[in-house]
Chain A
Amino acid sequence: MAKHLIVDPITRIEGHLRIEAVIDDNNVITDAFSSSTMFRGIETILKGRDPRDAGLLAMRICGVCTGTHYQRSIEAVEHAFDLKIPKNARLVRNLIQGALYIHDHVVHFYHLHALDWVDITSALKADPAKAAAEALKWTKTPYGAGEGDLRTIQQRVEKFVKQGRLGIFSNAYWGNKHYKFSPEQNLLAVAHYLQALDMQRDMSKMMAIFGGKMPHPQSLVVGGVTCVQDIKNPARIEQFKSLLRKANNFIKNAYLTDVLMAGTVYADEALDGTGAGLKNYMSYGDFRLNDNGFYDSELLFPKGVVLNGDLSTLHPLDQSKIAEDVSHAWYKGDKPLHPFDGETEPNYTGLEKKADGYAYLKTDEKYSWIKSPLYDDTRMEVGPLARVAVGLAAGDKRIAKYATNFLAKLGDTLGLGKAAPASVIFSTVGRTAARAIETELMGDVMMEWVDELASNVANGDLSTWVEFDFDKVSKNAKGYGMAEAPRGGLGHWVVIEDGKIKNYQAVVPSTWNAAPRDYKNRMGAYESSLVGTKVADPEQPLEILRTVHSFDPCIACAVHIVDTKGKELSSFKVNTSCAV
């Protein structure tokens, strides 16, 4: 008989997420449901505020991709005011955002995702000498993986285990047979897990150099940035570069190689396309490479849409084709609406308590606080995989170089005699690999940006802010900030009237990915990626965690978009009209 599983809380993510899955007698997932269970109402809070202050509050949508919402919000207002920010401001923002990418991706892989691939308890059985040799298989210059390093770490873990309390490592699915690494490979990854704890502190310092602090930096303002003293101080620039060099060493000789190792060990799943899901990918594009202004500049990540995994065709992105559907979300409404016409009237219908004492999602009805966004009436996946897919389809040389490099190495380690086919990225493993590929690219390009910033300042340009007449431009304005957060396409829309925010709306990456079914009963990206996956042990839904984590869920982001007024369900009557 089919089993109906609840996994709640999904841990090692930002926010509150539940997955329910139906598993047949062969332990194959036949159906899946993704639900978000927390709501705050940040857009309502933003209404009526001064648009210059919105970024600080909008940033608190998420403490993980923290600076991203800050920048999107500020750029939405700048777009509304038609401002062109100075070159220094563009570069500083690129550097803060780039540092966020590499920090976020490394923390995601090691601290949020790795324990779906890596069995810590198995690492205790490893031979450190063999593990050191293993490390050399993936790179000639492994990071922190000499025999001595690995032995020290193994002893440390051993002591930790012996003391009897496993703390945050307690009660996980250790020993599950879908953990496929050898003890030596596990030890190598555990070493990097611990070293990444140190490394991510340094990466967050990079953000703090220009941002003041991290999480929640504080140096962006409408019209530019405030960190003049940091950009004009050569010691500060050098500190940034030295941290970046260290980070790049870790990215190339630990992160990328560990992902290559996972790609090789789990190659059958990558080649099968396990966890692929929708195979429709969308990128808003991001990281301006010149000063032609918003949406006119050349971009590091191109924008566009890829359908059905067909990398030979890039479809142009037209934001007017975005709509949100609420058939299975806890709101009233009967058809998909563009954010411009969007209405949000909550209609919480709750969970269903069953005889076993658990509360189940009412999956035939409404079952999540997340709406179902559509692009041109199609379900989409966003994120690093989408950016790489769109980059390849767009023929972007830089993205192609880094992706091809990874696929060539993978082909090598698999003994294919040629590069692995690009289609391997359409899988759970591929989603994780795309994130690593992008991290390497970002680390390298940031070195170019920081030099560009230093030379611009050395040439006497200290401008960080563009002046504007607030009272004049804020009488009646609308704008949007559409770009890419580490987790995928992020858009903030703002309508301003008489110096105040009249309406505010954000459509965020995890809304696209974590959404429930739509009006045609088509699945969202998480749901679709889970169906067809075989689990080794239904009591230990390790494979569900692995695939859901490969998207890097950020659920507080996804849910904040709900827009309500009043405090009683019965009295909710809200209209959101967001303009572009």
Chain B
Amino acid sequence: MVDRREALMSMFSAKGAKVNTNRGEDYYKSLEKQMEERLTQLENSDVAAKYSIHEVLESEGLSRRDFMKWASAACAALMLPASFTPMVARAAELMNRVPVIWLELQDCAGNSEAILRSDAPTIDELILETISLEFNETLMAAAGHAAEAHLEEAMHTFKGKYLCVVEGAIPRAMDGLYGTIGAHGETFKEHLERVSQNAAALVAVGTCATFGGVPAASPNPTDAVGVQDIIKNKAIINIPACPANPANITGTILHFVLTGQIPELDHLNRPKFAFGYRIHDNCERRAHFDAGEFVEEWGDEGAKNNFCLYKMGCKGPMTFNNCSIVKYNSGTSWPIGAGHGCIGCSEPQFWDKYATERPIADSKIKAPTGGVEKTVDEFGLGLLTATGIGIGIHAAASIAAGKKSDNGNEE
């Protein structure tokens, strides 16, 4: 827990963040006022539960102090000044006032599984226990008609107030009939449209729901797309990665509770608090990159010494996500920690652009097709390409340098 908290704190000062974390007093004052209004309104609403997180904390033997420690870390994660800590704590106590309806479409349930394993055993998990999770096919007790009836009831009761979390892509080919759900044979597209209609906002989790992901990989047999290509009239927050890091899902929900609004997003609708960082800039193997020390093949001396994985296809330089800071499974490890390069899983079309064991130039990549490229910010892409080239040159230079020293050794 301590490690994780420190990791979150370090996000504040991490290199490479594209987020302005100091916006001046006026900005924060007005934000504070807005949050105050929002939280008071939630506190006075009888939408959901009457029971508070303190009772849960007590039963788990956790003190108010533990809770405030957590709140201060979460505050940092959301890129708010420390003075907002009490506000974050208040919001956490109100999380169960925000109902969540979680839909599964063309998915593998990886994101549902990921949220089960979110940072434990900490207060985060208690908060996940205490959000009002109204519908989730993987976990819910009811099935069939009873499940459908409950979905209807929850959508009606929480009209305009619930967050609709979506996992999985939406097939458009064959009038959407590649995916149907329920006794009426509703297509995934119809299902999504119906449930999102009265949602306060949509949260697309995982790269399938955000950018089409696996089903949309070339040649995209079912013409699958992400939520933002189907739903046009709603606020959509994209939390990509395969699967999405549960810390980022929790953070987003927390932010929504705090402000009633969606967090600040980048050009791909990803929350900046999580996706404002480049993997490469905060990578534990970065020093080896700078020193020109690379793994040249799996299991070599470089691998044994944790050298940089760029030449083994690591796409950390092209990928924006906070994995290198937050890591996975309660900070246990992350792909680069386990000696494998990043595959760029939080970027659009990563299956066709990044998910190989070789640097881009050697990748033999299939030409991407399908509709998802519309969502790619061309400017951003240009920047990434430029970065890629720069790194390529650096890597090439280091090969030359390495050869020289090899020769030197031989002599």
Contact = CB atoms under 8 A, between A and B. Distances in A.
Given A9-B182, A53-B356, A215-B243, A172 B339 contact: no
Contacts of A162: 51
A213 B177 contact: no
Contacts of A209: 332-333
A569 B153 CA distance: 36
Contacts of B140: 11-12, 168-170, 172
A348 B223 CA distance: 16
A221 B357 contact: yes
A204 B242 CA distance: 16
A211 B333 CA distance: 8
Given A163-B50, A209-B332, A66 B133 contact: no
A201 B121 contact: yes
Nearest to A230: B338
A42 B217 CA distance: 9
Given A7-B144, A63-B113, A159 B51 contact: yes
Interface in A148-202: 152, 155-156, 159-160, 162-165, 167-173, 197-198, 200-201
B214 A45 contact: yes
B150 interface: yes
B214 A464 contact: no
Count chain B CB atoms within 10 A of each CB in A111, A208, A540, A564 and give the residue with the most.
Answer: A208
A230 B138 contact: no
A447 interface: no
A131 B256 CA distance: 41
Nearest to B157: A165
A171 B149 contact: yes
B19 interface: no
B120 interface: yes
B1 interface: no
A228 B338 CA distance: 8
A359 B221 contact: no
Given A48-B366, A205-B332, A499-B364, A42 B214 contact: yes
A201 B330 contact: yes
| Top 7 A-B residue pairs of the complex, sorted by shortest distance between their CB atoms | A63-B110, A212-B338, A359-B185, A41-B221, A465-B299, A226-B339, A172-B141
Nearest to A210: B338
Count chain B CB atoms within 10 A of each CB in A45, A218, A566 and give the residue with the most.
Answer: A218
B355 to A, nearest CB: 6
Contacts of A359: 180, 183-185
Interface in A358-377: 358-359
B142 A11 contact: yes
B265 interface: no
A567 interface: yes
B139 A12 contact: yes
B134 A198 contact: no
Contacts of A566: 221
Contacts of B222: 39-41, 564, 567
A9 B329 contact: no
A39 B306 contact: no
B144 A50 contact: no
A64 B113 contact: yes
Interface stretch (B2-10, B67-75, B101-109, B231-239): B101-109
Interface of B: 48-51, 55-56, 59, 99, 104, 106-114, 116-118, 120-121, 125, 132-150, 153-154, 171, 173-174, 177-185, 188, 213-215, 217-224, 242-243, 297-299, 303-304, 306, 327-330, 332-340, 343, 351, 355-358, 363-364, 366
Interface residues of A, number: 106
Given A12-B143, A171-B149, A218-B335, A37 B181 contact: yes
A8 B148 CA distance: 9
Count chain A CB atoms within 10 A of each CB in B112, B154, B336, B337 and give the residue with the most.
Answer: B337
Contacts of B366: 48-49
Contact of A197 (B116, B340, B351): B116
B214 A8 contact: no
B361 to A, nearest CB: 14
A229 interface: yes
Contact of B171 (A12, A39, A170, A351): A39
Given A218-B335, A565-B221, A167 B134 contact: yes
A56 B108 CA distance: 14
B224 A40 contact: yes
14 contacts: A11-B137, A40-B178, A60-B242, A163-B49, A197-B116, A215-B117, A218-B338, A226-B303, A226-B338, A350-B177, A359-B183, A565-B221, A567-B174, A567-B221
Nearest to B336: A212
A53 B355 contact: yes
Contacts of B174: 348, 567-569
A228 B304 contact: yes
Nearest to A104: B113
Contact of B304 (A15, A39, A462, A499): A462
A212 B242 CA distance: 13
A223 interface: yes
Contacts of A197: 116, 125
Nearest to A162: B51
Count chain A CB atoms within 10 A of each CB in B50, B121, B183, B337 and give the residue with the most.
Answer: B183
A311 interface: no
Nearest to B298: A465
A38 interface: yes
A224 B134 CA distance: 43
A200 B145 CA distance: 30
A200 B138 contact: no
A550 B393 CA distance: 56
Given A221-B357, A351-B180, A45 B224 contact: no
A107 interface: yes
Contacts of B104: 16
